[in-house]
């Protein structure tokens, strides 16, 4: 690995989130980091590079296309770590995961697509274990604040005792066309996703001497959460529970419940109705295609919109007679902070002393406290709250 040409390659640098990640790396990468930009179009890569300033005029550019297996294989073999922002991942992600698993190359993405994550575990986890590759999905707003937030919370509780944690998510911000397209594809493939999820559960071993479970919860008003809380069945609680299964520090009996919080009850009712309508429309190809046409994949919020955006995740944990309340918070969740989390995950894998893991692993398992430390230095706040 030390002889590879690059330490980090960013694939998808010409997209909206990819461009923000390139800008972040240009300004904040560890000194001396050898990194490169990759994508289908050299001219577009050159445009991104020029936007980074004259000091990056020599930044290497790699032409690679998911429909050209040779180019993807060469990309993976050239670097220690690959970042990819090319989604929807269920359509465009597998070739790069396969190449990284074969080459022993660490991999990070920002997917929130449960079907894709489960399918990649089924197909490439064992190979990655053999080659030493760490395949780390969901290294953006899905699922870093929750996965690392629960790890941070558990570290403030007594060891070897039952633990229950509730997470309450509040956000203020908008989303890009790429995120919208991924969401529509998830809703349109719920049956396929459920089938793949069942297959993974049948094959994946669970701890024999510990109990790990999710709490489905119910809608309720929660003063600590900050409003009306509704169960939020995204990929994030799945990620948290996978970390809990892998790490003994979560205790002999661990439970996690995950909620989205809104201030007003009518807003909650509107969200539920809108989500139900979108899921129904996404089931049929003609109406799903109409949904996809509402927003272009290359669109994204303006800098002014991102500057006004924020997120806050509160955790309430109980262990025996001890209660611990914590919070993870930051700025623009979907783009500014996501590009930061994604880039710092890759830098952490490339440079830091980390636990000896391989295969498909969660951010908490692969990087844990080292990544928390990096994010705290970059103004993503992890804090213990007063009771």
The Cα 337–Cα 29 span in angstroms is: 15
Residue that terminates a domain, selected from 333, 357, 380: 333
Tell me which residues of the chain have a pLDDT lower than 50: none
Residue 209 lies in a domain: yes
168 within some domain:
yes
* Helix residue spans in 104-213 (DSSP H): 114-131, 144-154, 177-188, 190-203
Q: Do 189 and 82 fall within a single domain?
A: no
Whether 75 is covered by a domain: the verdict is: yes
Indicate if 66 and 210 belong to the same structural domain.
no
Cβ-based burial of 219 (10 A; exposed 0-12, middle 13-18, buried ≥19): middle
Beta-strand pair 134-136/106-109: parallel
- Whether 329 and 342 map to the same domain: the answer is no
CATH code: domain of residue 236: 3.30.360
Question: Domain ends where: 333, 348, 363?
Answer: 333
Same domain assignment for residues 174 and 276? yes
Cα angle for residues 218, 222, 225 (degrees, 5° grid) = 105
pLDDT at position 266 is 59
Helix, strand, coil shares, percent, the chain, to 5: 45, 20, 30
Does residue 291 sit in the same domain as residue 148?
Answer: yes
Q: 188 with 325, same domain? A: yes
CA neighbours within 13 Å on the CB side: how many for 163?
30
Provide the whole-model pTM.
Answer: 0.91
Q: Do 106 and 156 belong together in one domain? A: no
Q: How many angstroms separate the CA atoms of 91 and 33, rounded?
A: 31
Q: How many domains is the chain partitioned into structurally?
A: 2
Q: Provide the CATH number for the domain around residue 80.
A: 3.40.50.720
pLDDT value of position 33 = 97
User: Mind giving me the DSSP string for 151-171?
Assistant: HHHHTTS-SSS-EEEEEEEEE
Distance CA 384, CA 386 (A): 7
Residue 254's pLDDT is 98
Same domain, 269 and 289: yes
pLDDT value at residue 165? 98
Residue 53 within any structural domain of the chain: yes
Please check whether residue 90 lies inside any domain of the structure: yes
Please, are residues 269 and 259 in contact by the beta-carbon 8 Å criterion? no
Are 74 and 179 in the same domain? no
| Position 382 in a domain | no
- Asked if residue 136 and residue 225 are part of one domain, the reply reads no
- Residue 48 is part of which domain span? 6-140+337-372
The verdict on residue 245 lying in a domain is yes
Distance CA 220, CA 214 (A): 17
Same domain? For 200 and 71 the reply is: no
- Is residue 61, in this structure, part of any structural domain at all? yes
Domain identity same for 130 and 156: no
């Amino acid at each position: 690995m030390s002889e590879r040409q690059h330490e980090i390659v960013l694939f998808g640098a010409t997209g909206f989130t990819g461009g923000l990640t390139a800008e972040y790396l240009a300004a904040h990468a560890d000194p001396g980091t050898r990194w490169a930009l990759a994508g289908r179009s050299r001219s577009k890569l050159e445009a991104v590079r020029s936007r980074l300033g004259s000091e990056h005029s020599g930044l290497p550019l790699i032409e690679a296309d998911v429909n050209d297996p040779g180019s993807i294989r060469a990309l993976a073999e050239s670097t220690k770590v690959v970042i990819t922002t090319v989604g929807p991942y269920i359509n465009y992600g597998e070739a790069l995961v396969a190449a990284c698993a074969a080459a022993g190359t660490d991999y990070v993405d920002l997917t929130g697509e449960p079907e894709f994550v489960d399918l990649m575990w089924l197909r490439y986890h064992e190979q990655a274990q053999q080659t030493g590759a760490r395949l780390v999905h969901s290294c953006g707003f899905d699922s870093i604040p929750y996965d690392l937030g629960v790890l941070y919370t558990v570290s403030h509780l007594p060891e070897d005792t039952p633990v229950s944690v509730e997470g309450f998510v509040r956000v203020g911000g908008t989303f890009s066309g790429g995120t919208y397209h991924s969401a529509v594809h998830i809703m349109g493939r719920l049956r396929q996703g459920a089938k793949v999820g069942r297959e993974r559960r049948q094959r994946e071993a669970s701890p024999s001497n510990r109990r790990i479970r999710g709490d489905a919860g119910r809608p309720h008003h929660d003063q600590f959460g900050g409003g009306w809380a509704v169960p939020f069945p995204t990929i994030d609680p799945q990620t948290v529970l996978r970390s809990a299964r892998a790490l003994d520090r979560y205790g002999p009996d661990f439970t996690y419940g995950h909620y989205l919080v809104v201030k007003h009850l009518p807003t909650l009712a509107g969200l539920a109705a809108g989500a139900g309508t979108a899921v129904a429309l996404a089931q049929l190809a003609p109406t799903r295609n109409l949904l996809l046409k509402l927003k272009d994949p290359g669109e994204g919020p303006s800098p002014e919109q991102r500057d006004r955006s924020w997120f806050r995740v509160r955790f309430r944990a109980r262990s025996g007679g001890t209660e611990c309340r914590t919070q993870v918070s930051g700025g623009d969740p979907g783009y500014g902070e996501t590009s930061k989390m994604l880039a710092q995950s890759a830098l952490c894998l490339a440079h830091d002393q980390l636990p000896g893991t391989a295969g498909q692993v969660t951010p908490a398992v692969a990087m844990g406290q080292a990544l928390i430390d990096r994010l705290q230095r970059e103004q993503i706040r992890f804090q213990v709250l007063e009771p």
